[in-house]
Structure 1
Amino acid sequence: MAEKQKRKATTGNLWYEAWIRFRRNKLAMIGLFMVIALLSIAIFAPFIAPHDPAKQLIWTEGVKAKLAAPSAEHWMGTDLYGRDIFSRIIYGARISLQIGIFATIVSLVVGVTLGALAGYFGGYVDDIISWVINVVFAFPFFLFVLAVVAVFKNPGMIVIFISIGIVTWVPIARVARAQFISLREREYVEATKALGLPTSRIIFRHILPNAIAPIIVQATLGMGGVITTEAGLAFLGFGAQPPTPSWGLMISEGQRYLTTGQWWWAIFPGLAIMYTVLAFNFVGDGLRDALDVRLKR
C-alpha cells in the first residue's frame, strides 16, 4: 500500500511539473487558448451566430444578399444562396470538432489496444499485429477513407468518424507498442505477475497509466490531420451533405468564385481550418515538450 501511494504521489508530481513546463511554452499556451476559444464557439454557436446558418436570406433581403461582400451586416459575406458565411463557419466548428474528437477516440481504442497487446505479449502476437500495422500504413490513407465512405450513399457523421478512426490508429499503436515494450520488464510489472493478477488488469491498470503521456501527445497531434481529412472528404462530396455547414463543403462550393471576385466564400472556411490545425499542433508540440522527461531542468 505504501509503495502504491508513493507511486501515485510521484506520478502526480510528474504531471504537475509537466504542467509547469507546458505553461512556460508560449506557443503551447497560445494553442491552448485557441482550442478553448474554438470549443466555446462550438458549444455556444446558437448564441454567437447572428443568423440561421441554413436560412437563405435572399427571401428576406432580396437579390442583394446573394454573394454579398463582407459588411457590417455580414462580417464574412454571404454565399450564392444568401446564407451568412460567418454563421456557417461558427456552426461548422461543431462538425469539425465532433468528427475530430470521436474519430480520435476510435483511433485511441483501436491503436492502444493493438499496441498494448503487441508490446506486452511480443512473439507471434507482436509479429501479426506489426504486420497489420505495416499493411495499413502502406495503404494510401486518404484513398482508404474515401473507399470506406464511398460504400455508403449518404454517409452520416457516425460513418465518417468511424471511417477516419479505423485508419488513423497506426501512429498511436506504434507509440503504445514501444511504451509497453519498455515497461513490461519493470519491477512493478513483474511484481503484479508474481501476484497472479489478470493480464487485462496488468495491462490497463498498471502499465497503461505509465504509458499514457506519449499516447496523449500523439492523439493531440493527430487531431489536426483528422479535421483536415474530414474537410477533404466534404470537399469531394463524401462528407457532410448540404445544407450542413461544413468547412470543406463551403470551400468546395466557393472555389469556382475565387476568380470572379467572390473570394470570401472559400477563403474564410480555409482560414478556419488553418486556425484549428494550428491550435491543435501548438498544443501537441507543447505537450510533447512538457511530457519529455529529458527536457526537465
Structure 2
Amino acid sequence: MSEVASQVAAEVPASRVETPFQRFRSEFFESKIATAALILLVTIVTLALLAPIITPQNPYDLGQVDVLDARLAPGEKAFAGYTMWLGSDGAGRDLYSAILYGLRISLSVGVTAGLIALVIGMAIGLLAAYIGGRTENIIMRIVDLQLSFPAALVALMLVAMLGKGIDKIVLALVVAQWAYYARTVRGTALVERRKEYVEAAQCLGLSNARIVFRHILPNCLAPLIVVGTVQTASAISLEATLSFLGVGLPQTEPSLGVLIANGFEYMLSGRYWISVFPGLALLFTVVSINLVGDQLRDVLNPRLKK
C-alpha cells in the first residue's frame, strides 16, 4: 500500500498542490457577490486616495468655490466652465469632488479607530484569558458593562463632552468599540490556552510574553480579521451618524455625514442630489465592507458557512 501511495503522489503534478494563500483566494472568490464587493471597495478606496488628482476642485478651498454655482443640478456647468456631473451643494461646491474628499475623511476615521480599538481590545482580551482568576473576572465585567450600552450612545455621550474634531471622534469610537475585540480575543484565547502546545511551551520554560505573542495570538487573528471588517464599517456609519447630528466633525473637516446633513434642508425643495449622492457613497462603502467581512468569515471559519 505504501508503494502504491508513493506512486500516486509522484504522479500528481506539483502545480496542483495549493498553498494556503491559493486555497484562501480560490475559496474567497467562489462568491460572485463577495468578489463584486471587493472590487467596489477597492475602487472606492482608490478614488478617495486619488481625490486631489481626479477632482476638478478642492471643495474646501474657498479660493476654488464660487457661490454662483450653488445648488446646480447634476450635469450643469459651473461658472469656471467644467461640468458638475453630480451637481453642487448650497455653498457651490462640486458634489463629485466633495464626496471623494469626504470619503477620505470617513475612511481614515473608520480605519484609524478600528486599528486602535483592535490593539487595545486584543491586549486586554489576551491578558484576561491568559492570567485568568480575579483579573479576568474584573476585566470581563467591565466588558459586559460596556457592551450593555449601544455603541452609538457611548460615542454620542463622549463626543458631546469632548467636542468636535477628528481626534475627538476617533477617541469616542475607540472607547465605543474596544470591548467587541476584547470579548472576541478572550473567547478564542481561552480555547487556545487549554491546548497541549501551550502546556508544552510552559513546561519548556518559555516566558509568558513569548507564549502569548508567538503561540496564542497567531491563532486568534482569524476571528479578529472578521470582527475588524465589521467594526470598521460600523465606525464609518457611527461617524456619519454623529456628523449628521452635528456633534461629529466640523464643516472644515468634511465627511460623508456632514455632506448628507448639508443637503437635508434642501430635500423638500426638490434638490435631492445634495444628500442622496453622499448617502449612496456611504451606503456602497459600508455594504461592500460588510460583504467582504461576511465572506472572510465563511472562508476562515467554514463551520459558519451556509
TM-score, length basis structure 1: 0.89
Letter matched to residue 243 of structure 1: T
Letter matched to residue 111 of structure 1: G
* Counterpart in the other structure of 1:216: 225
Instruction: For residue 81 of structure 1, give the secondary structure of its aligned residue in structure 2.
Output: coil
* Counterpart in the other structure of 2:42: 36
* Counterpart in the other structure of 2:105: 95
* Counterpart in the other structure of 1:5: none
Q: 188, 197, 203: which one pairs with 1:194?
A: 203
Q: How does 1:38-57 map to 2 (within 5 A)?
A: 38-55=44-61
Q: Which has the higher contact order (CA 8 A, sep 6+)?
A: 1
Deviation per CA, 1:10-46: give whole Å up to 9, x if none. xx95454222211212122112112211221121111
Letter matched to residue 159 of structure 1: K
* Counterpart in the other structure of 1:150: 160
**Aligned counterparts of 2:19 and 2:129: Cα–Cα separation in 1:** 27
Alpha-carbon shift at residue 152 of structure 1 (Å): 2.8
Change (3 A) 1:50 1:188: same
Alpha-carbon shift at residue 150 of structure 1 (Å): 1.9
* Counterpart in the other structure of 2:26: 20
Letter matched to residue 179 of structure 1: T
Change (3 A) 1:22 1:58: closer
CA contact (8 A) 1:51 1:87 kept: yes
Instruction: For residue 126 of structure 1, give the secondary structure of its aligned residue in structure 2.
Output: helix
Letter matched to residue 247 of structure 2: F
Alpha-carbon shift at residue 294 of structure 1 (Å): 3.2
* Counterpart in the other structure of 1:134: 144
* Counterpart in the other structure of 2:282: 273
Q: How does 1:98-117 map to 2 (within 5 A)?
A: 98-117=108-127
Instruction: For residue 166 of structure 1, give the secondary structure of its aligned residue in structure 2.
Output: helix
CA contact (8 A) 1:106 1:166 kept: no
Alpha-carbon shift at residue 120 of structure 1 (Å): 2.0
TM-score, length basis structure 2: 0.86
Letter matched to residue 237 of structure 2: T
- How many corresponding residue pairs? 282
Change (3 A) 1:183 1:16: farther
Root-mean-square deviation over aligned CA pairs:
2.0
Kindly name which structure, 1 or 2, has the bigger radius of gyration based on alpha carbons: 2
Instruction: For residue 194 of structure 2, give the secondary structure of its aligned residue in structure 1.
Output: coil
Q: 211, 222, 234: which one pairs with 1:225?
A: 234
**Aligned counterparts of 1:212 and 1:58: Cα–Cα separation in 2:** 46
